[in-house]
Chain A
Amino acid sequence: ELKVEQNPLFLSMQEGKNYTIYCNYSTTSDRLYWYRQDPGKSLESLFVLLSNGAVKQEGRLMASLDTKARLSTLHITAAVHDLSATYFCAVGFGNEKLTFGTGTRLTIIP
């Protein structure tokens, strides 16, 4: 059974700082996704990572994938308040349903 763990679960960081969210998964996967959720809202797709060493960047967010370590990271550079949200990773294989991580609630403090 595929298990997906994120850490930390909660993260408070100051504006302007850098930090990384980690997503570990337990079995072989060929796709990994990062989603963002604002309070009371739906999930918005951020990145899809499909191969070992894949790196995607959008603004202050950068996601990477190491399939050998079964690890993805979401790096936040020079955080701003607008990035406050809950971030989920989700892992899948082929056309099987995705398994979601527990989420990381990120709060950016001015």
Chain B
Amino acid sequence: DGGITQSPKYLFRKEGQNVTLSCEQNLNHDAMYWYRQDPGQGLRLIYYSQIVNDFQKGDIAEGYSVSREKKESFPLTVTSAQKNPTAFYLCASSIPGPYGYTFGSGTRLTVV
């Protein structure tokens, strides 16, 4: 079955560490997105990529980095510069046209 796989489901980060969240899709979608969701809040866009080797900053890119070396993969690194990284992170993908986004199951990141 096609879909988006995010891993790990839960991740714990120590202060000062960089961590990388994985997002892989086998839907052959061109565009991929990363969102952050804080408890009881909406979705905030971190980064998005519409084609391989190209990506754009979203509304809250500071302290995060991404790469898009393959169409299927869009990993998100939460760097030590992100001072409050505890949140639920959602990855999504889409194709051109009125099809909306397909979301992964999310990664819950906690700073310990």
Contact = CB atoms under 8 A, between A and B. Distances in A.
Interface of A: 30-31, 33, 35, 40-45, 48, 50, 88, 90, 95, 97-98, 100-103, 105
Contacts of A103: 41-43
Interface of B: 31, 33, 40-43, 45, 48, 50, 88, 90, 92, 96-106, 108
Contacts of A102: 41-42
A99 B104 CA distance: 18
B25 to A, nearest CB: 13
Contacts of A45: 100-102
A30 B100 CA distance: 12
Nearest to A105: B40
Contacts, number: 50
Contacts of A98: 100-101
Contacts of B98: 30-31, 48, 50
A6 B98 CA distance: 21
Nearest to A30: B98
A29 B31 CA distance: 19
Nearest to A94: B96
A42 B105 contact: yes
A43 B96 contact: no
A97 B94 CA distance: 9
